[in-house]
Every structure is written in structure tokens, then in C-alpha cells.
Amino acid sequence: MHRLYGLIGYPLEHSFSMQYFNAKFKQEGISATYKNFELKHLDDLTNVLQQHNDLCGFNVTMPYKQAIIPLLSDLDSSAQNVGAVNTIKVSNKGLIGYNTDVFGFEKLWNDNIKTKIHSAVILGNGGATKAVANVLKSKNISFSIASRNPKMPNHISYSQIWSGDNPFQVIINTTPVGMHPFCDDIPPIDTSKINDSHIVIDLIYNPSQTKFLQIAKSQGAKTINGLQMLVYQAEKAWNIWNEG
């Protein structure tokens, strides 16, 4: 039986998921198709499900990783722990939510960072932020979350990033700032203070080198983009869709 998978979010022109999965299906001889379902409003998901009764599972990206939770029948422990969903399995019990971003980010971290890290700052406060924070907590790394309107105890404004006595070793961008097609944009932090003592991670993978990463690299920082995380979380999603 031919199976259908997909991605919901808005906008989706930056995403490589469709390209990745369809190449995988072709290479491995899998009878399946992966489509993008660009939804301006999450309410439109009902129409997608009604029109595509062969949809077996789908990924969720910005801005719906948290908003979709009330529409689900159940949450896996991975999604419960993070409070965000990026993978959904369509089952006879309804829509089951999972989070594979945690798995993907932890693998990316373990593959690339071998030194002892004690402090990090996360740029942004969306669904991906929660997955990154979950991984940092599990590694006992102290972190702050920088956002435009900080409201929680460990949240700071972008202007406060460099004001502490204990500067952050790792800077992680979880925002869409700098994503295709807005490739000249950078997060609103003072990049002049980035140097060879820093590791800068940008979860964006299109373009492969955001302007933010280019600046950081030119100033001696170790830089990592989000492509590995995409691959790891995609393979984890594939396993979820095909288990049991």
C-alpha cells in the first residue's frame, strides 16, 4: 500500500524535509510520498486529514509545535517532557504527538562538542527552544533563554547576553532569523563579542551557513548548523511512524 507522509507549518519554502524523505523513499524502494502542507491557519489541518485518508504521519514545524497539542489524542513522554510536538503518528486511536527534536539536538551536540561545557544561551523561545533546553538540562549545563520580551526567571533580553560575569560558552539560535529567503538577517545580539572561545550553533540549515554563522566563524568561533539535527530527527520520526 502506498503511504503518505508530510509536513505542516507556515511558511515551508525553507524546508528540506520533503526533499530528504522523498530521496530516502526512492533510494530504499519504499512505496511512499512526502508532501508539504503549508497551513496559514492550524484549523486547516482538519481539511488535510479529510482529504488525505492515506496520511500515516506528519512532521510539525513553526509556528505550530505548541499550538497543535490541544488537537491531539495523546502525547508520548518525549512531547510531554518538552511541551512541544514535531512528529505526529496517525493511528486508529487518533493523532499521537512526539518530539524528536530532543533526540536530534542531543545527537548533534554529542557528535560535535567534545569539550566540557558549563554555560549556554539559547536565542528564541519557541518549540525548538524547549527541546534544546531539555538537552542542556540533561547535561547539567547552566543556560539562559534570550528573547525580546523576557518574562520567566531564567529569561534575559538580547542586550543582557554579554552583561554577566560568566560569559556563555555556547550560543544556540533557535529562531528563524536568517532563514531563507531572509538570508541577510541576524539575531539581535552584539556579534562583535563572539570570538574563538565560543561555539555557535544555528538550528537553521537553509542556508547551510547563515550570516550569523559566517560572522561567528570569521571571528574564530566553532560553528555548527542544523542539518545533522534535521537528519537525526527525521530518522527518529520514520522509526516512530513504522513501529508497532
Q: Could you state, in chain order, the average pLDDT of each consecutive group of 10 residues for the chain (244 residues)?
A: 95 90 97 97 96 96 94 96 95 95 97 96 92 96 93 89 85 95 95 96 96 98 97 96 86
Q: CA distances (Å), 24 to each of 10, 37, 75, 231, in order?
A: 24, 19, 27, 11
d(C-alpha 120, C-alpha 136), whole Å: 8
Tell me phi and psi for residue 132, to 5 degrees. Answer: -65, -45
d(C-alpha 81, C-alpha 105), whole Å: 15
CB of 155 closer than 8 Å to CB of 145: yes
In the prediction, which pLDDT does 1 show?
82
d(C-alpha 188, C-alpha 177), whole Å: 9
Q: Mind spelling out the 3-state secondary structure of the chain?
A: CCEEEEEEECCCCCCCHHHHHHHHHHHHCCCEEEEEEECCCHHHHHHHHHHCCCEEEEEECCCCCCCCHHHCCEECHHHHHHCCCCEEEEECCEEEEECCHHHHHHHHHHHHCCCCCCEEEEECCCHHHHHHHHHHHHCCCEEEEECCCCCCCCEECHHHCCCCCCCCCEEEECCCCCCCCCCCCCCCCCHHHCCCCCEEEECCCCCCCCHHHHHHHHCCCEEECCHHHHHHHHHHHHHHHHCC
Question: Which tens digits make up the pLDDT trace of 129-170?
Answer: 999 999 999 999 999 999 988 888 889 999 999 987 667 999
Give the contacts of 155 (CB within 8 A, at least 6 positions apart).
125, 144, 145, 146, 147
CB of 4 closer than 8 Å to CB of 32: yes
In the prediction, which pLDDT does 77 show?
94
Q: Is 65 a catalytic residue?
A: yes
Q: How large is the angle between the packed helices 227-242 and 17-28, nearest 10 degrees?
A: 60
Confidence (pTM)? 0.92
| Domains by residue range for the chain, with CATH | 3-99 (3.40.50.10860), 102-228 (3.40.50.720)
In the prediction, which pLDDT does 244 show?
63
Which residue among 24, 26, 40, 65 is the active-site one?
A: 65
In the prediction, which pLDDT does 163 show?
87
In the prediction, which pLDDT does 151 show?
81
d(C-alpha 205, C-alpha 224), whole Å: 10
